[in-house]
């Protein structure tokens, strides 16, 4: 009998068994005990019709609780133009194919090239790659680059105000190797740079910081690059790219490496993913940057064209010496960011960033007037801010009552850090997508609960 998805005939199977000296397929599994093997009667229910499956899935989906999200901590609910989904869904783009053959892939290659160009413009850096998996991946690649760039180094300094999930990935990256992640302590919600010089030694390869940081606060990195470079160390700043429309770029702070996550630019919320990481560097580090790079050139007829360049750095050539292996499917997420940025333009980015800033500060100011709620630090922030409650009971009541009214009021910081000092801290995020009516609904509910 020939099965539609099993190409081998009975004669094919007999020939393969004979070539390895066996008589039957059962002999292949004699090394396994009977208790590990499936019997003839596998306990699987009978199939369902298409309509039955659709009804079952719909009933499961209805369990989701809908509400107005003031949630952040790395994933934010921004406005996404309809062009993003429409264009990125074109069959020509939805492919797992890696565009190695330039003569077949000019459209996809140009889209990646535009992504790189936009990231360079936003960060102020010289070279960007064709994207990474997410911000955590970008941070670990930055750490690898730092150690690879400085001989005899094995340590990377990391700010304690970096997102706890990114810090966890960096810790995993170093585990089981001779590499070390050393934490630079925080002071009043931002990294304590007064101790930086004392922390730098021969083993230190560089420093990774984040702004806006895990609390949503904007950090000041004046003179940091000079201090690091005087010790032969590199400087990496992780930033939400949308925030760079109104705050200093990584290049303006003197960073060597710009990293982050483009989720805020065209990627919807979907249980935390998928996302897209970005990485850009100065020209001197161009040959150390991981992943693909698309370059522009001209062909024999003088026509502009695009191709993968500096490929000797990549896994399909260097294999075990390559720093990274990035799936080509990631290009689809980068494409969504590219379409989003093209739709907004620079003025649209500034408008979205300014609206997020203004709405977040409006909500923060009025919440801080309520009894039992305080803004922890008098520090600048962008679209996310930390509130501290006077006691745990009030905080639980606040979150539950607002949820009952269809409002996701924020994220408990302790849920991310698992630290007792963060038990009473609530992170509230406000993007340009939140309307004035939604802000007033939040405040009205908060006033009723905290009166």
Nearest one of 179, 176, 241, 170 to 208, comparing CA atoms: 170
Count the neighbouring beta carbons within 10 Å of the beta carbon of residue 373.
Answer: 19
Token readout for 356 is 């997020």
Domain 82-341 in the same topology as domain 68-77+345-450: no
pLDDT of residue 323: 73
pLDDT in tens, 342-353: 999 999 999 999
* 82-341 belongs to CATH 3.40.640.10: yes
Report the mean per-residue pLDDT for the chain.
Answer: 92
pLDDT tens digits for range 140-156: 999 999 999 999 999 99
CATH number attached to the domain at 68-77+345-450: 3.90.1150.10
Can you give the pLDDT at residue 367?
98
pLDDT score of 215 more than 80: yes
Q: Hey, where are the domains in the chain?
A: 68-77+345-450, 82-341
Question: pLDDT tens across 420-449, in order?
Answer: 889 999 999 999 999 999 999 999 999 999
Task: Indicate if the pLDDT at residue 1 is higher than 60.
Answer: no
2 pLDDT band, cuts 50/70/90, is low
Please indicate whether residue 84 or residue 101 has the higher confidence score (pLDDT). Answer: 84
Does residue 311 surpass a pLDDT of 90?
A: no
Q: Which of 2-11, 27-36, 346-355, 419-428 has the highest mean pLDDT?
A: 346-355
With bands split at pLDDT 50, 70 and 90, how would you rate the model's confidence at 93? confident
pLDDT for residue 96: 67
pTM, two decimal places:
0.87
**CA Rg, the chain, in Å?**
26
Using CA atoms of 322, 293, 175, 171 in order, give the dihedral in degrees to the nearest 10: 170
Buried b (16+ CB within 10 A) or exposed e, 185-196: ebeebbbebeeb
Confidence of residue 3 (pLDDT cuts 50, 70, 90): low
**Per-residue pLDDT tens over the stretch 370-405:** 999 999 999 999 999 999 999 999 999 999 999 999
User: Residue 129 phi/psi, 5° resolution?
Assistant: -90, -175
CA distance 296 to 352: 31
């Amino acid at each position: 009998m020939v099965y539609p998805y099993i190409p081998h005939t009975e004669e094919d199977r007999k020939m393969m068994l004979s070539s390895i000296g066996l008589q039957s397929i059962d002999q292949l599994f004699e090394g396994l005990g009977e208790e590990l093997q499936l019997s003839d009667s596998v306990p699987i229910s009978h199939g369902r019709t298409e309509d039955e499956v659709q009804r079952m899935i719909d009933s499961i989906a209805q369990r989701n609780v809908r509400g107005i999200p003031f949630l952040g901590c790395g994933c934010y609910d921004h406005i996404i133009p309809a062009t993003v989904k429409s264009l990125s869904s074109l069959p020509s783009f939805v492919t797992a194919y890696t565009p190695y053959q330039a003569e077949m892939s000019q459209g996809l290659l140009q889209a990646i090239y535009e992504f790189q160009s936009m990231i360079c413009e936003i960060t102020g850096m010289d070279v960007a790659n064709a994207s990474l998996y997410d911000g955590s991946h970008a941070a670990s690649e930055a750490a690898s680059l730092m150690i690879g760039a400085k001989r005899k180094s094995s340590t990377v300094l990391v700010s304690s105000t970096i997102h706890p999930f990114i810090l966890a990935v960096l810790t995993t990256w170093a585990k089981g190797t001779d590499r070390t992640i050393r934490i630079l302590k925080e002071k009043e919600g931002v990294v304590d740079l007064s101790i930086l010089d004392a922390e730098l030694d021969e083993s230190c390869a560089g420093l990774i910081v984040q702004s806006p940081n895990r609390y949503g606060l904007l950090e000041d990195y004046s003179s940091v690059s000079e201090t690091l470079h005087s010790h032969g160390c590199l400087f990496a700043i992780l930033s939400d790219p949308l925030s760079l429309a109104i705050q200093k770029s990584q290049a303006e702070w003197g960073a060597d490496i710009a990293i982050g996550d483009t989720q805020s630019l065209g990627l919807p919320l979907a249980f935390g993913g998928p996302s897209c990481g970005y990485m850009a560097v100065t020209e001197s580090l161009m040959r150390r940057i991981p992943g693909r790079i698309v370059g522009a050139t001209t062909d024999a007829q003088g026509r502009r064209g695009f191709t993968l360049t500096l490929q000797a750095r990549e896994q399909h050539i260097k294999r075990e010496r390559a720093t990274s292996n990035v799936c080509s499917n990631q290009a689809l997420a980068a494409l969504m960011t590219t379409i989003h940025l093209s739709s907004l333009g620079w003025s649209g980015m500034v408008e979205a960033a300014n609206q997020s800033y203004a709405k977040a500060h409006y909500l923060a100011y009025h919440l801080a007037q309520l009894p039992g709620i305080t803004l922890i630090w008098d520090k600048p922030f962008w679209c996310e801010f930390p509130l501290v409650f006077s006691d745990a009971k009030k905080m639980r009541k606040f979150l539950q009552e607002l949820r009952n009214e269809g409002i996701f009021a924020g994220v408990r910081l302790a849920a991310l850090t698992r630290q007792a000092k963060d038990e009473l801290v609530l992170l509230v995020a406000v993007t340009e997508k939140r309307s004035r009516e939604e802000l007033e609904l939040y405040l009205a509910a908060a006033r009723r609960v905290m009166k």
